[in-house]
Structure 1
Amino acid sequence: MPDPKTFAELNDLIARLQEARSTMVIEARDELAKNPQQAEIINRYIDEAEDLLLSAAARRPGDPADDRGMGALLGMGSQVATTLGEVAQQPLVPTYDNQINRERLIAVGDLYYIYQHERAGVFRAVLKLQQLFQSGEIRLSDGPGALALYQFDRKRVLRYTQRERRAIYRKVFGYTEVAPPVGAEPNTAFHALLSNFCQHVSRFFEDKRVSEVLRPDGGRETFGSMAVVRRSGLDLRHNLKQVSYGNVAVLRAEVMVLLQEAFDILGSNDVINLFGADNGWDVLEEITKRYMHEIPLSSQRSRMAVAGRSILRWLAEDYLLTQVRIDFEALLEAIVDACEDWLTSAESIGLRRVPGSKGDNVVAFKPATRVG
């Protein structure tokens, strides 16, 4: 097949490809009735051939005499176009780049995990426990938890303050009411985009289950729309791409260590025995209720942390760009439970899921302190 050089040649070749598509579908009617997935193979074959034609129509680089057909179009020079079809065909501009740096998005997923644990009160509970330990109000003396409490803020020069963390949460997720770092804007669209993506993933598999019940033989394609899920996921990826620059990865690495140290304290034997608890989460809830006089939301925040991190790490890969339906469904199935977990947990603590809602913005933090 010759390389197309003019509009007329390219349009003729594309018309022949579309005619081939129609012919292949007509000739495969019997097979398509039994196995509709064959239609995807036919369409993909024709689309790939069309992409090759458009690529071949691109101007060959390094040709100084090539004026992109403007001379022929304007009637200048030795070659004058008598019809518009004789004008040289030009390539399309590059499509929008949906690629993303996976390391940055993984760092954002970890930051979301940290944020939800901070909202669960992990750091505030450790600080309250430290205050009680220093004042002697609790029966804690020289065990591993007591020593860890003493050491918890000894390395404060390495720690991001609570205010600095809240500023990053505001910049990346739009959460908290603290001003973002100077020069940054709060990412107020994040919560609605994450909610939207989770809802579409959940609905996709709801439609899939319904179609499997109505069509138990699997003879037809499922009801769920790949395009809707892909678009909502790409919107979320693009949003996070714009806010993942800066010190997000460094802060994530440092505060993950701080979070682990906090849970080591809450889960130490002497602290667990002090509160008659079974584990660190029980200690956290006891401190929240007994000393901070708040209703603990540890279970919901923990699930949102784990589910949100899984979803954002999944988006860091290029799974959304998969065009084959069966592959797309199999890859998407890895996060369907996480999406439904996130939606249910968010709804149970009163975070509205409709676009435009303020989400966590309506909840204020207590004044910043220099701990971690």
Structure 2
Amino acid sequence: MRLAPPPPDVRLPWRPAHAGLLRALAFATAQVAGHERAVSLALSADAPGAIDLPEGAPNAMDAAQLRAAGPLYFAAELEAAGLLRCGELVAGLFASGAITQPLGPVAQSINTFWRGRRDRLQPGEREAIFNRVVEQPHFDRLMMALCRAIVAQADNADDRGVRPDLREQTGLAVAAQSLAEFLAQRIDAMASIAVRDVIDTINAAIGFLRDRMLQSAFGTHSLWALIATASSSDGMTPGSATTVQSHADRGRAGQAVLAWLASNYQSRNVTLDPRAPADADLIMSAQRWLDATPLQPTQATPALTPSLPIAA
């Protein structure tokens, strides 16, 4: 009696840790590049189709500046999560010799991050930019109206096609225009220049903070736990990996919505088709943003602040 051959091995595609965060970071980098190209074109005297528009009319610079809104919001949420603060703290501890465990190749990345600390925006400068662009509570109110208008389009299609609702179309157009005008007034030249520096800094910090050997040196097992531990140690936010991840998820979802806004804010007849993959992704991003609970950092009492553990 012959036995049947064993079934073939099941091969699962490799998925890196924090794949969603890395995709959002790559998308932010691409958005920044598009923003820089659009600004350059808008400033060029030879821009094709350049005409004089009446005061207050949407122009090429408005569209160019709005391209920076998504990456800036994404960065603002990661800043609120404590990611860059954690990166700077870890780099400082490494430079001082407080981290005694061998870290392998990631040590070079940490050293490079530390040496470049004077060449990038400082925490206070980043905070000033974020507070201006994502001014609360006005931004959240306008963003919530836009996300609700987007989600309302989810049931406007059936097997026979899209069934536009005039009231929902108008509401979406008004919400998009309101948020676009709000952001266009706040993304000034400084924010436009700073967005590249901020995204590059986040990219560098994530590059070493997600290293397993570094996380083990601090007694943690994930990027979110490491950031939460570092945030607790400097007295800024309660240590909660869930809180940190919620900020990151909200930033990812908001960035996707704002990227759509930058391309569609001038449209008066916006119809989303839930059956189309791109529109379905937009609707899901809007719903994820609505589902995320706004999280505000609180000042912890120094006497109750736990110390940052480092394995010897």
Amino acid at match of 1:270: M
Query: Does the C-alpha gap of structure 1 residues 276 and 241 become closer, same or farther in structure 2, counting only changes over 3 Å?
Result: same
Structure 1 residues 233 and 144: CA distance shift in structure 2, 3 A:
same
1:157 and 1:128 mapped to 2: Cα distance? 14
Offset, 1:325:
4.5
TM-score (norm 2): 0.65
Give the number of equivalent residue pairs. Answer: 244
Decide whether aligned partners of structure 1 residues 315 and 219 sit closer, same or farther in structure 2, where only a CA change above 3 A counts. closer
The 1:150–1:337 alpha-carbon spacing in structure 2 relative to 1, beyond 3 Å, is same
Output the CA distance in 1 between the equivalents of 2:92 and 2:162: 66
Counterpart of 1:232? Answer: 175
Equivalent in the alignment of 1:344: 291
- State the match for 2:239 in structure 1: 294
2:194 to 227, 251, 272: 251
Query: How far apart, CA to CA, are the structure 2 residues paired with 1:128 and 1:95?
Result: 47
Question: Does residue 1:280 correspond to 2:223, yes or no?
Answer: yes
| Residue 114 (structure 2) pairs with residue 153 (structure 1) | yes
- Unpaired stretches in structure 2, ≥5 consecutive residues: 1-52, 301-312
Distance in 1 (CA, whole Å) between partners of 2:56 and 2:234 is 53
2:127 is aligned with 1:166? yes
Which of the two has higher C-alpha Rg? 1
CA contact (8 A) 1:275 1:283 kept: yes
- Matched residue of 1:225: which SS? helix
Unaligned runs of 5+ in 1: 1-92, 176-187, 351-359, 366-372
Q: Take 2:142 and 2:69, find their aligned partners in 1: how far apart are those partners?
A: 15
Q: TM-score, normalised by structure 1?
A: 0.56
Q: In structure 1, what residue type is equivalent to 2:286? A: C
Shift of 1:220: 6.2
Higher relative contact order (CA 8 A, sep 6+): 2
Quote the offset at 1:224 in angstroms: 6.1
1:218–1:335 Cα change, 3 Å: closer
Displacement after TM superposition at 1:205 (Å): 2.2
2:143 pairs with one of 177, 194, 199: 194
Task: Report the Cα distance in structure 2 between the residues aligned to 1:163 and 1:235, rounded to whole angstroms.
Answer: 29
Per the TM alignment, residue 285 of structure 1 is displaced from its structure 2 partner at its CA by 3.7
Q: Is the 8 A contact 2:71 2:255 kept in 1?
A: yes
Q: Which residue is equivalent to 2:89?
A: 128
Amino acid at match of 1:339: A
Q: CA 1:96–1:323 in 2, change beyond 3 Å: closer, same or farther? A: farther
* 1:130 to 1:226, Cα distance in 2 relative to 1, 3 A: same
- Give the conservation status (yes or no) of the 8 Å contact 1:144–1:268: no
- 1:242 and 2:185 correspond: yes
The alpha-carbon distance between structure 1 residues 204 and 304, as it changes in their structure 2 partners (threshold 3 A), is same
**Aligned twin of 1:109:** 70
Deviation of the 1:243 alpha carbon: 1.3
Higher mean C-alpha displacement, 231-240 vs 120-129: 120-129
Deviation at 1:250, TM superposition (A): 1.6
Contact 2:180 2:265 in 1 (8 A): no
| SS at 2:72 equivalent | helix
Over 3 Å counting, the alpha-carbon distance change for 1:333 and 1:238 in structure 2 is: farther
- The 1:265–1:113 alpha-carbon spacing in structure 2 relative to 1, beyond 3 Å, is same
Give the 3-state SS of the residue equivalent to 2:151 in structure 1. Answer: helix
The share of aligned pairs that are identical, in percent, is 22
